[in-house]
A and B are shown apart, each in its own frame.
Chain A
Amino acid sequence: MSGFSAVLRKDLRLELRSGESTLALLALSMLVLVVLVFALDAGRVRSVDVAAGALWVAMVFAGMLGANRALLAERDNGAIRGLLLSPLDPGTLYAAKLAAALIFMAVAEVGAVILMVLFFNLEFDASIARLAPILALGAIGFSALATLLSAITGRTRGGDMLLPILAVPIFVPALIAGVKASAAALAGAPLDSMDAWLKIMVAFDVLFVTAGYLLFEHVVGEG
């Protein structure tokens, strides 16, 4: 476990020092929301579905950026080889990188939610609090998937463009569930009324965290 905390603390320290990726994530999610407000002219109408949709679009794009940065720290000076050579096993490395991506995404999500409430004339009330577990489940699933895929796209030509093309279709089920659950929560429905959606999100998370943990060693090594 010491390996996990070492890598995570190192990533957080690097992030706090440069701070560029969290700011970039926040800026990106804000921009996506602004674009959607103008595109859907949602300023006037109090539409919950539009707000939930916009929130998740912002999350997916911010998450993509966050995941791409997950292995960026290791690209300088071949640091990834330092990790592969060390007794740290790839699964723990994956877990640490996933945790880091999750933290970045959480920050972006909080920012996006606040902006969503402002941009879409909603209230800071209980419904927003109910969003938290849904967004958490979404963030876990997306980070698990994107961290695994960014280890692949990070090392192929034109990979950065490939990450969304690979990640979004696979993420679709969690996206549908997330948007539907968020819309219901914003419309005041209690959490247990949408357990079907939540079950799908939990299944997605469990599946892709384990798949990522097991498959990471195959994509990160040079071999």
Chain B
Amino acid sequence: MRANFFKMNSAIRNGLGYTTLALMIVALFMVFDYVPPEAEQGIAQLIFYFHVPLAWVAFASFGIVAIAGIFYLWLGDQLWDDLGYAAAETGMVFCTLMIVAGSIWAKPIWGTWWTWDSRLTTTFILWLMYVGYLMLRASADDTPQVARFGAVIGIVAALDVPIVIASVRLWRTIHPAVLVTKQGGHGLEDPRMVTTLLVCLAAFTVFWAWLLMLRFMQLRTRSRMGELAVRIAFASAAASDKQVMEPG
């Protein structure tokens, strides 16, 4: 059963890889050639088409971390822990990129690299939470309970997200708006913009799924090798018993 599980998975993984390639090429073409630049912001607004998918993918990953955590605590299967860890890692890559892209876009439009705009702040707090998650993973990797600790942190962080969003929005509206925060995103005038965004969303979702699967299967292999090492330890202990009983 294990063999074809692996074969089937790598087929899916390669399939995702190629679709990503195709979709990404289409997306880039559409962003740079097909879609009309937004009247006011000029071509800097084109960063938007990658910024939003990055955000969606980051939030989705952190959702998976929490769900995988719940399943791990409930079922105790190492598979869920591997999934949670892989989702957190890939999620962090995309979350970091989202903040970087966001601030690069903010410089020409709002004149500063960073503003405490409610969306950026929320993402930044989320980013800090998962830095903590990954640091815990790194420093506690040898303790047997690291999987349970990771699951609990993943769940607690996800529980906090709605409150972070609410409090930051409340804080943000009262906080004197430093700059006109005209977010280019809402109210896309031209239908081509919408299609481009959708294609970019699809491209990044597949890209993320591919990366997640890549890392997830790697962690699955690592866990299965751990189990194999234990079985070997048992076998060698049994073998040494035989030697003790009747030396060869």
Establish whether A and B are touching in the complex (CB under 8 Å): yes
Q: Is A218 an interface residue (CB 8 A)?
A: yes
Residues of chain B within 8 A of A149, CB atoms compared = 153, 156
Q: Is B188 an interface residue (CB 8 A)?
A: no
Q: Give the residue of A162, A200, A204, A218 whose beta carbon is less than 8 angstroms from that of B139.
A: A162
Digitize A211-223: 1 where CB-to-B-CB distance is under 8 Å, 0 elsewhere. 1000100110011
Residues of chain B within 8 A of A170, CB atoms compared = 129, 156-157, 160
Bound CA–CA A153/B135 (angstroms):
11
Residues of chain A within 8 A of B140, CB atoms compared = 156-157, 159
Residues of chain A within 8 A of B113, CB atoms compared = none
B152 close to A148 (CB less than 8 A) = yes
- Which chain B residues (149-203) contact chain A, with CB distance < 8 Å? 149, 151-153, 155-157, 159-160, 163-164, 166-168, 170-171, 174
The answer to whether residues A162 and B135 also contact, given A170-B129, A172-B125, A218-B148 and a CB cut-off of 8 A, is: yes
The answer to whether residues A173 and B135 also contact, given A148-B152, A152-B149, A211-B156 and a CB cut-off of 8 A, is: no
Main secondary structure of the interface of B (DSSP, over half): helix
Q: Is B22 an interface residue (CB 8 A)?
A: no
Bound CA–CA A153/B169 (angstroms):
31
Min CB gap B63→A, angstroms = 16
Residues of chain A within 8 A of B144, CB atoms compared = 222-223
B125 close to A180 (CB less than 8 A) = no
Min CB gap A6→B, angstroms = 26
Digitize B132-146: 1 where CB-to-A-CB distance is under 8 Å, 0 elsewhere. 110110011011111
B160 close to A173 (CB less than 8 A) = yes
Residues of chain B within 8 A of A169, CB atoms compared = 125, 128-129, 131-132
Min CB gap B191→A, angstroms = 38
Closest Cβ neighbor of A156 among chain B residues: B140
Closest Cβ neighbor of B130 among chain A residues: A169
The answer to whether residues A173 and B156 also contact, given A156-B136, A157-B139, A219-B149 and a CB cut-off of 8 A, is: no
Residues of chain A within 8 A of B125, CB atoms compared = 169, 172
B171 close to A156 (CB less than 8 A) = no
Closest Cβ neighbor of A172 among chain B residues: B125
A162 close to B136 (CB less than 8 A) = yes
Closest Cβ neighbor of B163 among chain A residues: A173
Closest Cβ neighbor of A163 among chain B residues: B132
Min CB gap A159→B, angstroms = 8
Bound CA–CA A156/B146 (angstroms):
9
B167 close to A177 (CB less than 8 A) = yes
Q: Is B73 an interface residue (CB 8 A)?
A: yes
Bound CA–CA A147/B162 (angstroms):
22
Residues of chain B within 8 A of A203, CB atoms compared = 163, 166
8 nearest CB pairs, A to B: A173-B167, A169-B128, A156-B140, A166-B132, A173-B163, A169-B129, A165-B132, A152-B149
Q: What 14 new A-B contacts, CB under 8 Å, besides A177-B170, A223-B144?
A: A145-B156, A152-B149, A156-B140, A156-B149, A157-B139, A166-B129, A166-B153, A170-B157, A170-B160, A173-B160, A174-B163, A180-B171, A211-B159, A215-B73
Binding site for B on A (CB under 8 A): 145, 148-149, 152-153, 155-159, 162, 165-166, 168-170, 172-174, 176-177, 180, 196-197, 200, 203-204, 207-208, 211, 215, 218-219, 222-223
Interface CB pairs A-B, < 8 A, 7: A148-B152, A159-B139, A165-B135, A173-B160, A173-B163, A203-B166, A223-B144
